[in-house]
Amino acid sequence: MGARHRPAYVRFRLTGDPPYRAQPRRRSLGLLGGQNRPEPATVTSLEGFRETLELLAKDPKVKGILLELEDLAVPPAKRDVLVKLLEGFRGAGKRVVAWAVGVDNLGYQVMCAADEALLSPAGRLELVGYAAEAMALGEGLGRIGVQAHFFRRGEYKTMPELFTLPHVSNIQREVLESFLDERYAELVDTLAKGRRRTPEQVRAWIDGGPYSARRAAAEGLIDGVCDEAALPERLNGKGSEGEADEEGEGLEPMPMYLARLPWPPVRWRRLRPLPRLAVVPVSGMIVTGKGGSGVTGQMAGSEAVVKALRAAGRNRRAKAVVLYVSSSGGSAVASEIILEAVQRVAKKKPVIAFVDRVAASGGYMAALGAKEIWATPHAIVGSIGVFAGKFDTSGLMEKVGVHRTLITRGENAGIYSSTRGFTEHERALMEAEVEETYQAFLEHVAKARGRTKEEIHALGEGRVYSGTRALAVGLVDRTEGFEEACRRAMELAKVPGRFDLQVYGGGDRRFSLLKLLLGGSHAGTYAFCPTAWSLQGFGEGERFE
C-alpha cells in the first residue's frame, strides 16, 4: 500500500547557509537535524542533500523534486555544489522545479539549474549585478580629534587606508573592480547557460532589474508565476496537461516519502567504525591566546587552534587533517604560532588547507603549513603584507574635556600610548619592525611554495587574488570543493572509500576588530580589510558545532 501512495514529487527547503556535512552524532538518512529543529523539508547539509537525491534518483515512482529557496546565503563554492547536485539529479531523468517568493543573484543562479523556475505572484527577482562599497574614515576621524598612525609594507596592503585616508584610493578601487569583473562575468555565463540565452541578452536582463514576479515571467527570466498552495497541482499537471498520475500522491517532504516506502532504507551500525578525517577550523580574526568575547566578528585564538591541531595530530583514528581557513588575518605572532602547529601535525599525517571564502594575510600564512592548499574559484587568497600602528585620541579627549598626562622612563616607553602620535625615533623603529615582519612573511611563503623571496615579493605587497588567479600564480595547488579536498587528504593518507569527519576546535567566540588595532600594534599585523568588501556570500565561514 505504501509503495502505491508515496509522493510523485518530494519537497525540499533551501535556506541560509547549510554546512557541507552535519556532525556524525546528528546524522540520519537524507536530511540532517540540528538544535533548532528545522522544518522537515529543510536541507541541513549538502552531503545529506546529495544522499537523498541519490536515493530518489533510483525510485522510478518519483518524478522529481520541488526546491523552495528562502534567504539563501551560501558562498559561491556551495552554490557550485548545489548546481552540480541538481544537474546530476536531472541527468538521472528526474525533474527539478525551483520556487521562491523572492531571490537575488545567488538564488537565481541556483534556480537556473532547474528544469522550471517559478516565483510567487507577490515575489521579486533582485537581479541587479554586484556592488562593493569601499569606505574611508580618515577625514571623519580627524573631525572628532582622532588621528590614525599606521605603517604598512606593500602598497596593496590597504587595510590602514580605512582609517588614514579621506577618500578611497585608486588601488582599493582597482582591487575591488577586479573581483567584481570576475563575479559579473560568471553571473552572465551561468544565466546564459541556464536560461539558454545569449550573454548580450543576459546583460540586458541584469541592467533591467530588479523585477516583479510578473515582469520576470513576461521577460522570460522565469517560467511562470504560482502560489505556494497551487504548487502540487502545477507539478502533477492538473487543470493543464491532464489529471495527476494515479500512482503519485502530490508533494511531500522527505520524511513522509521515507514513511511511505514499503522497505525504508536502514543505516546499520557498522561493526568497524569508518576511518576519520579531522577538520580544524581557523575562522575569523586571528589573535593570541584563547580568545574572548567582544563586539563584532568571529575570532581564532592561537592557543585554541593549536590545542585543536595537537588533538587532531594525536588521534590515531584521524588519518588526515583538513585545515578549514576562513580568516582575513590578524596578529602576526598568533599567525606564526598557528603555522608552526600546522607544520608539526603535517610531519605526522597529511594536512590539506581548504579555503572557500577568504584566506588572506595571516589566514594565508596559517595555510602554508599544509602539504597542499586548495581554494574554490571565487575565494579571496593572498594579501601577503604587514601593517602596524595606533590611534592618537588626544584631540578627542581634549574636545570632551578629558586630560591625560603621559609620564615615562625610557625613550620609547610611550610608543603605544594613545595620548600622542609617534616621535621620529619611534617612527623609525616601527618602520623597521614592519619591514622585518614582512621579510619573515616572504620567507615563510617562499619556503612553503618552493619559490624565491623575490618571486613572492612580486606577488605580495598586499595583493589579493581570487582562487582562480591564485592558482595561476602558484599560491594555491587546486581549485575544487570541500568534499574533493577531504578525499584528497584521505588519498594522501592511503585510506580509500568512505570516512567520517571529526571537528576539533572551532568554538564561536566574538571579537572586536578595533580592539585588535588598538592593542596589537607592537607585534605587527597580517590582515586584509574586510570592511570594504560587501560581495555577496563571504561571511564568517563554515559553522562547525
Domain boundaries, the chain: 2-128+209-260, 145-157+276-527
Contact 33/26 with Cβ under 8 angstroms? yes
Half-sphere exposure of 150 (CA within 13 A, CB side): 25
Check: CB of residue 341 under 8 Å from CB of residue 366.
Answer: no
d(CA 165, CA 167): 5
What is the pLDDT at residue 524?
52
- The answer to whether domain 2-128+209-260 and domain 145-157+276-527 are alike in fold is yes
Tell me how crowded residue 536 is: count the other CB atoms within 10 A of its CB.
17
Upper half-sphere CA count for residue 208 (Cβ side, 13 Å) = 14
Within 10 Å of residue 201's Cβ, how many Cβ atoms? 16
9: alpha, beta or left? (left if phi > 0; alpha if psi -120 to 50):
beta
The number of helix segments (H) and strand segments (E) in the chain equals 19, 21
Phi/psi at 72 (5° precision): -65, 135
Q: Are 353 and 372 in contact (CB under 8 A)?
A: yes
Locus of grid cell 599525517? 349
Helices (H), 450-511: 453-459, 467-473, 482-492
Question: What ranges in 67-212 are assigned the alpha helix state H?
Answer: 76-91, 105-111, 138-143, 161-164, 170-195, 199-208
Model pLDDT, residue 242 = 36
pLDDT tens, position by position, for the chain (545 residues)? Answer: 444 577 789 999 999 999 998 865 544 434 333 445 567 789 989 999 999 999 999 999 899 999 999 999 999 999 999 999 999 999 999 999 999 999 999 999 999 999 999 999 999 999 999 988 888 888 898 899 998 888 888 888 888 888 888 888 888 888 889 989 999 999 999 999 999 999 999 999 999 989 999 999 999 999 999 999 899 888 877 533 334 444 445 788 888 877 777 776 666 666 678 889 999 999 988 988 875 434 345 788 889 999 999 999 999 999 999 999 999 888 888 999 999 999 999 999 999 999 999 999 999 999 999 999 999 999 999 999 988 888 999 899 888 899 888 888 888 888 889 889 999 999 999 999 999 999 999 999 999 999 999 999 999 999 999 999 999 999 999 999 999 999 999 999 999 888 989 899 865 444 444 444 444 444 455 555 444 344 444 445 555 54
Q: What is the pLDDT of residue 160?
A: 84
Give domain 145-157+276-527's CATH number out of 3.40.1190.20, 3.40.50.1980, 3.30.530.20, 3.90.226.10. 3.90.226.10
Q: Which three cell numbers stand for residue 394?
A: 588626544
Cell numbers of 208, please? 533591467
Map grid coordinates 487543470 to a residue. Answer: 239
CA distance linking residue 165 with residue 151, whole number of Å: 13
Exposed e or buried b for every residue in 314-349, given b needs 16+ CB within 10 A? eeeebbbbbbbbbbbbbbbbbbbbbbebbbebbeeb
Q: In what order do the strands lie in the sheet with 351-355?
A: 372-375, 351-355, 318-326, 276-283, 500-503
Give the pLDDT confidence score for residue 247 in this predicted structure: 41
Q: Report the pLDDT value the prediction gives residue 250, as an integer from 0 to 100.
A: 72
Q: Is 103 helix (H, G, I), strand (E, B) or coil?
A: strand
Cell of 432: 623597521
**Alpha-carbon separation of residue 167 from 140, 161, 163, 294, 372 (angstroms):** 10, 9, 10, 29, 39
Superfamily of domain 2-128+209-260: 2-enoyl-CoA Hydratase; Chain A, domain 1 (3.90.226.10)
What pLDDT is attached to residue 519?
43
pLDDT at res. 4: 52
